[in-house]
Amino acid sequence: MGTIYFFDKHVKKHLMKGTKAVNPSNSGVFPNGVSCIREDDVNMWFYTKEGIAVAFDSGHRDFPGLEKEFRKIGINPKDIKNVFITHVDVDHAGGVDKNGNNIFPNAQIYIGRDEEQYITGKMHRMTKLGFVKLNVGVSLNHGYNLLSDGQVIDVDGVRIEAIHVPGHTLGHMCYIVDDSVLISGDCLAINQNGGYPFFDFFTQFPDMNKKSLIKLRDRLKGKPVKAVCTGHSGYRDYGASTFAHIDETAVFDRKIHFDESAPEDYTKY
């Protein structure tokens, strides 16, 4: 088990306990064609239209009990033909890691063009100790597809626009689905006051992320977006508050909670 996988599986839950920082949605079906599966602290998302489901992110590697969760939302993972990954951190791309049990065995994988350098090892997932270089941890089978900023993919009548939002990672992508749903990955953390740049501790280039959020906000102007599907803040209605605090920084602390409605322990739900 690599260092980042070890941190994700064994350390992060203790680091985050009591901070009320993450508030993923429980597995279920939502308005606007959206459904999700919860894996402790993270959501993977699905958009269904005329019986065709598209997946966004794949969660942790070898997460237990997924068959039950897929039954809750009425989706067979073997029927998923397309998976769009926001970034290749282990909690978002672990489910399609070639060294684990690929939960979407029949799917084409899409990642941001600049995200590939983490897969190849040309870029490391730096910690806050600048001299420590860690590989991202995820390995993908050859044949994945690379996406450019603004590229539009039509998946059986579902329009998916890829937006490059670097900062959390260099190749982080958001996806605008049928101009109505924003898949935001880990660029935003949202609480009752609105959206903030994602936590600096987990973000590789915080200043870059803030600048990217301005670009994302501007790209969404005029689009009839109704919902935001986040990596760790669950399903949220889209509105004026979505980008309300993007000049600030989301923080997590046991004394000053980020989201009072979030669980103390994200492993208990």
Q: Which residues contact 34 (CB under 8 A, 6 or more apart)?
A: 45, 46, 47, 181, 227, 229, 235
State which residues form the domain around 52.
3-12+23-237
Candidates 210, 186, 198; CA nearest to 85 is 186
User: What dihedral do alpha carbons 225, 186, 231, 77 form, nearest 10°?
Assistant: 90
* Distance from the Cα of residue 186 to its chain's centroid: 5
* Whether pLDDT at 130 is above 70: no
Residue 63 identity: F
Q: CA 26, CA 207: separation in Å to the nearest integer?
A: 31
Domain membership of residue 7 (yes or no) is yes
Candidates 5, 202, 204; CA nearest to 124 is 204
User: How many domains does the chain fold into?
Assistant: 1
pLDDT digits (tens, 9 = 90+) for 50-68: 999 999 999 999 999 999 9
Determine the 3-state secondary structure of 229 from DSSP. strand
Per-residue confidence (pLDDT) for residue 136, from 0 to 100: 85
The mean per-residue pLDDT over the stretch 169-175 comes to 98
Domain membership of residue 153 (yes or no) is yes
Q: Are 182 and 196 in contact (CB under 8 A)?
A: no
Per-residue confidence (pLDDT) for residue 131, from 0 to 100: 55
pLDDT digits (tens, 9 = 90+) for 187-233: 999 999 999 999 999 999 999 999 999 999 999 999 999 999 999 99
Largest CA distance in the chain: 50
pLDDT-wise least confident of 132-146, 198-212, 229-243: 132-146
Domain membership of residue 243 (yes or no) is no
Domain membership of residue 156 (yes or no) is yes
Q: CA 118, CA 209: separation in Å to the nearest integer?
A: 18
Domain membership of residue 260 (yes or no) is no
What is the average pLDDT value for the chain, to the nearest integer? 96
The full DSSP string for 87-134 is ---HHHHGGG-TTS--S-TT-EEEEEGGGHHHHHTSS----SSTT---
Domain membership of residue 253 (yes or no) is no
Per-residue confidence (pLDDT) for residue 132, from 0 to 100: 62
Residue carrying structure tokens 């969760």: 69
Using 50, 70 and 90 to split pLDDT, how confident is the model at 135? confident
* Whether pLDDT at 3 is above 90: no
Per-residue confidence (pLDDT) for residue 229, from 0 to 100: 99
Domain membership of residue 264 (yes or no) is no
CATH number of the domain to which 223 belongs = 3.60.15.10
Q: Is 62 left (phi over 0), alpha (psi -120 to 50) or beta?
A: left
* Whether pLDDT at 1 is above 70: no
Q: Are 229 and 45 in contact (CB under 8 A)?
A: yes
Domain membership of residue 69 (yes or no) is yes
